[in-house]
């Protein structure tokens, strides 16, 4: 009795799957048209039925083989790509560590050089103005007063 219930449950499940794929009205129309075709052309209908019944198994096996090969190749390509991405990451992480460390050292050097030069510049008690003529004809004039930051301006050579 339990086997009969399981079998009927399996049939109901298969029927619901078929109903999801092809609606019952579409199936009924297909059944009616194939039945009328078999009545009108019995020789051709029997030929097509025998061809389909004998060729369906190899076609399904070939289709499953193709899908298996495609899925295997996609999984293999994904794993191959992930492997080489991992190898590249093993090279990228130490390289980034070195470059970030070098950039930090250069930045610390630049900031400390600026601070030291500014400290030395402010330490020297020089007052007055300086004038430099540049190659392009412009003149840079800097004036420093005691206790103030230097002020500079750029003028054309005519002034």
61 pLDDT above the threshold of 90: yes
Residue 64 sits in the same domain as residue 13: no
Higher per-residue pLDDT: 56 or 7? 56
pLDDT at residue 2, as a whole number: 82
Mean pLDDT of 15-38: 88
Within-domain flag for 96: yes
Are residues 62 and 5 part of one domain? no
Residue 48, SS3 per DSSP: helix
Domains of the chain: total: 3
Task: For residues 74 and 13, state if they share a domain.
Answer: no
Is 66 in the same domain as 119? yes
CA–CA gap between residue 80 and residue 84 (Å, rounded): 6
Q: Residue holding tokens 């096996």? A: 61
47 domain-assigned: no
Same domain, 70 and 105: yes
**Which residues form the domain of 101?**
55-124
| Beta carbons of 146 and 125 less than 8 angstroms apart | yes
């Amino acid at each position: 009795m339990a086997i009969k219930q399981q079998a009927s449950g399996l049939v109901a499940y298969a029927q619901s799957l078929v109903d999801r794929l092809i609606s019952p009205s579409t199936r009924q129309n297909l059944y009616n048209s194939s039945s009328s075709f078999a009545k009108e052309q019995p020789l051709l209908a029997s030929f097509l039925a025998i061809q389909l019944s004998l060729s369906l198994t190899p076609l399904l096996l070939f289709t499953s083989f193709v899908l298996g090969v495609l899925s295997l190749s996609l999984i293999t390509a994904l794993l191959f790509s992930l492997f080489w991405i991992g190898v590249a990451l093993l090279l990228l992480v130490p390289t980034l560590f070195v470059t970030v460390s070098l950039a930090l050292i250069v930045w610390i050097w630049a900031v400390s050089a600026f601070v030291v030069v500014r400290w030395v510049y402010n330490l020297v008690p020089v007052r007055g103005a300086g004038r430099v003529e540049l190659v392009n004809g412009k003149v840079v004039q800097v004036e420093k007063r005691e206790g103030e930051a230097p002020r500079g301006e750029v003028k054309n050579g005519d002034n």
